[in-house]
Amino acid sequence: MTVNRQRPRRSCLAVPGSNPRFLEKAQGLPADQVFLDLEDACAPLAKEKARHLIVDALNNGDWTGKTRVVRVNDWTTHWTYRDVVTVVEGAGANLDCLMLPKVQDATQVRALDMLLTQIEKTVGLEVGGIGIEAQIENARGLVNVDEIAAASPRLETIVFGPADFMASINMKSLVVGEQPPGYPADAYHYILMRILMAARAHDLQAIDGPYLQIRHVEGFREVARRAAALGFDGKWVLHPGQVEVSNEVFSPSQEDYDHAELILDAYAHATSEQGGMKGSAMLGDEMIDEASRKMALVVAGKGRAAGL
């Protein structure tokens, strides 16, 4: 069986692994992905218990229709290996990916890949079945993002972690996801594009990180639209109020979707024998060609996946 590494991820819901109420509630929300967190949403003294709560939630919860991810702690801590062993041995059959935070170079991804392979062999899971999401959260990770994106066939996404990233580069803002005061342009543009290029060069998805002003839905929408406009596939959501907005922003509008399907139909006709095997055609006032077909396919693909 080959694993589908291109799963829907318009909204990726953060769920603290130490909180049984949130683990329960998350199951009823329309997020494309959930990630049950053992890292920064889990206090150090709660991590041990959270591993077991997560195993139980994965095995006994109803996560139908959702990509199931667990975020483990990063390799500079002493928690990572036990996070991985406990979660994958306990619930590997009900888990799609592990998220590895604060990735700094390719060896950190490879180390997780090797550990996963051993556990999969030991417990009789398909080898390579569990995917990896790599979070870029500091300057070293961003500088090495190309080698990180190429580090393992298990990789599915590169994920931007703005809170840790802003801290790591001394960006002068305390509002995660918002622009730092005093800078007249988009302070995130370079970082987002760098991540997107590395992801696309290796056929991975690119996911934008959290927006912490959870009651400011319009602020979330604006930041999400920026990432969606560049080509990102989805964004983290921290609150039920952000889920639908994220699903909407990372899906094409009905109008764009319909237009994309029209381009595909018109181009298919123009290049067919009945259409005269032409390399380009007119759709209303718009000239379309093979490159237009590719652009339309991106929008149509997302629209079909969103059920438009």
By CB under 6 A, name the binding residues for ligand GLV: 101, 135, 137, 161-164, 209-210
Q: How many whole angstroms separate alpha carbon 98 and alpha carbon 205?
A: 15
Interface segment toward Mg ion; rule CB under 5 A; list 10-18, 67-75, 132-140, 247-255: 132-140
Label residue 114 exposed, middle or buried (CB < 10 Å: 0-12, 13-18, 19+).
exposed
Is the Cβ of residue 113 or residue 164 nearer to Mg ion in the bound state? Answer: 164
Nearest-approach distance from CB 132 to ligand GLV, in angstroms: 15
Is the Cβ of residue 101 or residue 303 nearer to ligand GLV in the bound state? Answer: 101
Q: Three-state SS for 186?
A: coil
Is the Cβ of residue 137 or residue 178 nearer to Mg ion in the bound state? Answer: 137
Residue type for position 297: L
Q: Which of ligand GLV, Mg ion, none is residue 209 near (CB under 5 to 8 Å by kind)?
A: ligand GLV
**Hey, which residues between 39 and 98 contact Mg ion (CB under 5 A)?**
none
177: contact with Mg ion by CB under 5 A? no
Is the Cβ of residue 12 or residue 281 nearer to ligand GLV in the bound state? Answer: 12
Residue type for position 96: D
Q: How many whole angstroms separate alpha carbon 191 and alpha carbon 121?
A: 37
* C-alpha torsion sign, points 10, 16, 17, 23: negative
Q: How many whole angstroms separate alpha carbon 167 and alpha carbon 176?
A: 10
210: contact with Mg ion by CB under 5 A? no
Q: How many whole angstroms separate alpha carbon 138 and alpha carbon 102?
A: 7
Does 51 carry a binding-site annotation? no
164: contact with Mg ion by CB under 5 A? yes
Task: Specify whether the CB–CB gap between 139 and 105 falls below 8 A.
Answer: no
Residues sharing a CB contact under 8 Å with residue 273, sequence separation 6 or more, in sequence order: none
Does 147 carry a binding-site annotation? no
Could you tell me whether strands 131-136 and 67-71 are parallel, antiparallel, or unpaired per DSSP bridges? unpaired
Is the Cβ of residue 210 or residue 252 nearer to Mg ion in the bound state? Answer: 210
Nearest-approach distance from CB 35 to Mg ion, in angstroms: 12
Nearest-approach distance from CB 20 to ligand GLV, in angstroms: 22
Does 96 carry a binding-site annotation? no
Q: What is the contact surface with Mg ion in residues (CB under 5 A)? A: 137, 161, 164
Q: Binding site membership: which residues?
A: 71, 137, 164
Q: Binding site membership for substrate: which residues?
A: 71, 137
